[in-house]
Amino acid sequence: MVDLRQFEKDFDTVSAALKRRGIDERILEKVKVLFEEKKAVQKRLEAAQAEQNRKSRLFGQYKREGKDVTELQKEVAENKERIAALNEELRLLEEKLFELAATIPNLPDPDVPDGEDEEDNVEIRKVLEPKIFDFQPKEHWELAERNGWIDFERGVKIAKSRFSALRYEGARLERALINYMLDFNRDRGFEEVYVPFMANAESLFGTGQLPKFADDLFKVEGEELYLIPTAEVPVTNLFRDEILKKEDLPLRLTAYTPCFRKEAGSAGRDTRGMIRQHQFDKVELVCITAPEESDRVFEEMVACASDLLTSLGLPHRHMLLCAGDMGFSAARTVDLEVWLPGQGKYREISSISNTRDFQARRAKIRFKEEKKNRLVHTLNGSSLAVGRTLIAIMENYQQADGSILVPEVLRPYL
Q: Would you call 57 a catalytic residue per the annotation? A: no
Out of 51, 75, 142, 348, which one is annotated catalytic? 348
Say how many C-beta atoms besides its own lie within 10 A of residue 262's C-beta.
17
Q: H or E segment at 63?
A: helix 25-65
What whole-number distance in Å separates Cα of residue 278 and Cα of residue 118? Answer: 22
Out of 351, 353, 382, 383, which one is annotated catalytic? 351
Out of 261, 332, 361, 362, which one is annotated catalytic? 261
With b meaning 16 or more CB within 10 Å and e meaning fewer, what string describes 49-61? eeebeebeeebee
Return the percent helix, strand and coil in the chain, to nearest 5.
45, 20, 30
Q: H or E segment at 318?
A: strand 316-320
Out of 356, 382, 388, 395, which one is annotated catalytic? 388
What whole-number distance in Å separates Cα of residue 231 and Cα of residue 258? Answer: 8
What whole-number distance in Å separates Cα of residue 247 and Cα of residue 227? Answer: 33
Chain-centroid distance, C-alpha 8:
24
In DSSP notation, 322-369 reads PGGGS-TT-SEEEEEEEEETTTTEEEEEEEEEE-TTHHHHHHTEEEEE
Q: Would you call 351 a catalytic residue per the annotation? A: yes
Out of 276, 317, 347, 374, which one is annotated catalytic? 276
Q: Would you call 348 a catalytic residue per the annotation? A: yes
3 state DSSP class of 91: helix
**SS3 sequence, 113-145?**
CCCCCHHHCEEEEEECCCCCCCCCCCCHHHHHH
Which residues are designated catalytic? 261, 276, 348, 351, 388
